[in-house]
Amino acid sequence: MANLRQASLRHANLALVARTVLAAEAPPSRADVAAATSLTRSTVSRLVDELVTGGVLAEVDSAIGGPGQPGQPGRPSRPGRPGRPATPLTASTGRFAALGLQVGVGQLAARLVGLTGEVLAEQLVPLDLAGSRPGPSLRRLRTLTTRVLASTPPGMTVVGAGLALPGIVDHTEGRLLSAPNLGWEDVTPGAALRGALGDLTLCVGNEADLAAHAFAHPAPGRSSEPQDFVYLSGEVGIGGAVVVDGTVMTGRHGWAGEIGHVCVDPEGPTCRCGSTGCLEQYAGRLAMLAAAGLDASTPPAELARRAHAGDDKARTAVRSAARALGIALAGVVNVLDIPTVVLGGHLAQVGALLAPDVEAMLVRRVLSAHWVTSRVVTAPDDPAPGATGAALLALDRVVADPVAFVS
Ligand SMILES: [Zn+2]
């Protein structure tokens, strides 16, 4: 019994030390970790050694600190080795990675992501998958998966795999129930990808949820600001997610956040979901390009360029999208009291044009705007943030339970 307690204490303390190092803004020393966790320095040193040997943590080259570090406050000497400089700790880059996949209406993506959140290898193929058949698309994704996994660096372990899908997902069964913009219904992608995945377990999730997770946590165990926000993922349509305290609010069945299908005008155009006047009929990529008189294949950056240059149709398209976004988001902010909006995908590419009008609309329509001003920010330009988010979720297991991986 005592041994059992000892073992579970070691598990918990290894996870605590790993979390503390990965969450730190600057690489902490062992002494910093001891101070942050209230564990003794010798316990921390032992646990850190185990995590370094196991490939979860790494010691930053002491040369980075430069000469004169040992005497400085906050950089005490390494416990048990008097006189030696404190060695900062960080996530290891060489031992663990996860596979992130994404099916978008405009592309397929496969990525290998490491413990520091960096993309180690990727395959991106632009494709028009609107109204496509799932079989050939998933076979193509299987080929990309095989290629990315084949480029896994020697000595690295792939700990899991995740797939981001643009629709309603049953994550317990790994099933895509409906993706209106793909035209896919009731698809189980894991079966089609099995040949490429080997022993890896595939988790499936909603693309916007996973992109929002990647925005809130750019690396396993690390958080960015803000931690409370509404995320809009602009693709052909618009996906959405609500993040509170860094966690995606998925709702009872995992289907929350479908802001793209919030109605902004019941008399508006018919949406692929079967309803009318949904947000994505005004601010989805295809809707904005069509309103600007541009071909569906035109990059959103070109729409932004034209609007900046004063092109009337482009400006009208942006204004109409901003108005619809403002109406839909005001409803969301009024209900949830989350005043930060993050624009991702094509919405980020035209974000600088959209933000002022959306923010003005939020000031006008949000009841609490007098006390807290809503702000609209843009996500980093990344063609497949859902793939990264799927891989990061798989990597979180290493941080949550390092024992399972370092032993
Ligand atoms: Zn709709």
Range among 4-8, 141-145, 177-181 with highest mean pLDDT value? 141-145
Residue 131 CA, ligand 1 centroid: distance in Å: 16
Find the 58 Cα to ligand 1 centroid distance in Å: 47
Shared-domain flag, residues 229 and 369: yes
Structurally, the chain folds into a number of domains equal to 3
Q: Indicate the range of 55-69, 271-285, 311-325 predicted with least confidence.
A: 55-69
Residues 81 and 121 in one domain: no
Q: Do 357 and 250 sit in the same domain of this protein?
A: yes
In a domain, 190, yes or no: yes
Q: What's the pLDDT at 103? A: 98
Distance (angstroms) between ligand 1 centre and the Cα of 262 equals: 7
> Within this chain, do residues 111 and 202 fall inside the same structural domain, yes or no?
yes
pLDDT at 1: 62
179-183 average pLDDT score = 93
Residue 162 CA to residue 174 CA, distance in Å, equals 10
User: Taken in order 112, 118, 119, 120, is the CA torsion positive or negative?
Assistant: negative
Residues 101 and 153 both lie in one domain: yes
* pLDDT attached to residue 84: 52
Can you name the residues that pair with 378 across neighbouring β-strands? Answer: 343
CA of 278 to the centre of ligand 1 (A): 5
Question: What is the whole-number distance in angstroms between the Cα of residue 274 and the centre of ligand 1?
Answer: 6
What pLDDT score was predicted for residue 57? 96
What is the rounded distance in angstroms from the CA atom of residue 110 to the CA atom of residue 23?
A: 26
Q: Round to whole Å and give the CA distance between 65 and 73.
A: 13
How far does residue 279's CA lie from ligand 1's centre (Å)?
A: 7
Cα(280) to ligand 1 centroid in Å equals 7
d(CA 315, CA 109): 32
- Percentage of the chain beyond pLDDT 70 is 93
Q: Separation of 343 CA from ligand 1 center, angstroms?
A: 19
Beta carbons within 10 angstroms of residue 255's beta carbon: 16
Higher-confidence position of 5 and 245 = 245
**Which tens digits make up the pLDDT trace of 51-96?**
999 999 999 974 444 333 333 333 333 444 444 568 999 999 989 9
Whether 62 and 138 map to the same domain: the answer is: no
38 and 110 fall within a common domain: no
Distance (angstroms) between ligand 1 centre and the Cα of 292 equals 21
Q: How far is the CA of 160 from the centre of ligand 1 (A)?
A: 33
Give residue 232 CA to ligand 1 midpoint distance, Å. Answer: 14
Distance (angstroms) between ligand 1 centre and the Cα of 183 equals 13
- Summary mean pLDDT of the chain: 91
| Centroid of ligand 1 to alpha carbon of 275 (angstroms) | 5
Judgement on whether residues 238 and 367 belong to the same structural domain of the protein:
yes
Q: What is the CATH number of the domain that holds 52?
A: 1.10.10.10
CA–centroid distance, 270 to ligand 1, in Å, is: 8
pTM of the shown model: 0.91
- Look at residue 8 in the predicted model and tell me its pLDDT: 87
At which of 44, 71, 91 does a domain end? 91
Is residue 219 assigned to a domain? no
Residue that terminates a domain, selected from 58, 91, 124: 91
**Mean pLDDT over residues 118-127, rounded?**
96
- Flag whether pLDDT at 152 surpasses 50: yes
231 with 371, same domain: the answer is yes
State the Cα–Cα distance between residues 31 and 219, nearest whole angstrom. Answer: 23
Helices (H), 24-98: 30-37, 41-53
Q: What is the average per-residue pLDDT within 293-312?
A: 94
What Rg, from alpha-carbon coordinates, does the chain have? 23
CA 176 – CA 174 distance, rounded (Å): 7
Residue 263 Cα to ligand 1 middle (Å): 8
- 366 assigned to some structural domain: yes
- Determine, yes or no, domain membership for 349: yes
**What tens digit of pLDDT does each residue of 31-44 get?**
999 999 999 999 99
Q: Domain check: are 77 and 105 in the same one? A: no
Point out the domain boundary residue: 91, 106, 135: 91
Using CA atoms of 278, 328, 323, 314 in order, give the dihedral in degrees to the nearest 10: -50
Å from CA of 273 to ligand 1 middle: 4
CATH number at residue 296: 3.30.420.40
Span 131-142, pLDDT tens digits: 999 999 999 999
Would 109 be classed as within a structural domain? yes
Domain that holds residue 127: 96-214+385-406
Q: What is the mean pLDDT of residues 22-29?
A: 94
CB neighbours of residue 380 within 10 Å: 10
What's the CA-to-centroid distance between 284 and ligand 1, angstroms? 11
- The rounded Å distance from CA 238 to ligand 1 centre is 9
Cβ atoms of residues 22 and 219 within 8 Å: yes
Degrees (nearest 5) of the Cα angle 24, 98, 219? 20
Q: Residue 318's pLDDT is what?
A: 97
Q: 255 versus 384: which is more confidently predicted?
A: 384
* pLDDT given for residue 61 in this prediction: 77
Ligand 1 center to 261 CA (angstroms): 4
Strand partners, 100: 111, 162
Residue found under tokens 């918990």: 12
The mean per-residue pLDDT over the stretch 197-217 comes to 96
Span from the CA of 206 to the centroid of ligand 1 (angstroms): 16
Rounded distance between C-alpha atoms, residue 298 and residue 310, angstroms:
18
Whether residues 65 and 21 fall in one domain: yes
Shared domain check, 320 and 177:
no
Cβ atoms of 230 and 333 within 8 Å: the answer is: yes
Measure 272 CA to ligand 1 centroid, in angstroms. 6
Please report, rounded to a whole number, the percentage of residues in the chain having pLDDT higher than 90.
85
